[in-house]
Amino acid sequence: MTEPLRVLVADDQTLVRTGFRLILGADGIDVVGEATNGIEAVAAVRRTRPDVVLMDVRMPGMDGLEATRRILADRGAPDPVRAEGVPLPDRPRVIILTTFDLDRYVYAALSAGASGFLLKDVTPEQLTAAVRTVRTGDALLAPAITRRLVQRFTQRGGDTAALHRDLASLTPRELEVFGLLARGLSNAELATRLHLAEATVKTHVARILAKLRLRDRVQAVIVAYETGLVSAGVHEDVHRPTGRTG
pTM given for the model? 0.66
Q: Which domains does the chain have, with CATH numbers?
A: 6-141 (3.40.50.2300), 157-226 (1.10.10.10)
| Nearest-10 Cα torsion for 46, 49, 53, 56 | -30
Q: Per-residue confidence at 78, pLDDT binned at 50, 70, 90?
A: very low
What single DSSP character describes residue 242? T
Count CB-CB contacts under 10 A for residue 246: 7
Q: For residue range 140-178, what is the model confidence (pLDDT) as tens digits?
A: 666 566 666 656 655 554 444 444 457 888 999 999 999
Q: For residue range 4-55, what is the model confidence (pLDDT) as tens digits?
A: 899 999 999 999 999 999 999 999 999 999 999 999 999 999 999 999 999 9
CA angle, residues 129, 86, 133, in degrees to nearest 5: 10
Return the closest-CA partner of residue 218 out of 158, 152, 171: 152
Predicted confidence (pLDDT) at residue 69 exceeds the cutoff of 50: yes
Which distant-in-sequence residues (6+ apart) come within 8 Å of 16 by Cβ? Answer: 9, 56, 120
Contacts for 136-143: CB closer than 8 Å, 24+ residues apart: 136/187, 138/186, 138/187, 138/217, 139/115, 139/216, 139/217, 139/218, 140/95, 140/115, 140/116, 140/184, 140/186, 141/116, 141/117, 141/184, 141/218, 141/221, 142/117, 142/118, 143/184
By DSSP bridging, strand 93-98 and strand 52-56 are parallel
What single DSSP character describes residue 3? P
Return the closest-CA partner of residue 78 out of 38, 53, 37, 46: 46
- What is the pLDDT at residue 160? 42
Q: For residue range 97-131, what is the model confidence (pLDDT) as tens digits?
A: 877 555 566 667 766 778 878 888 889 998 999 89
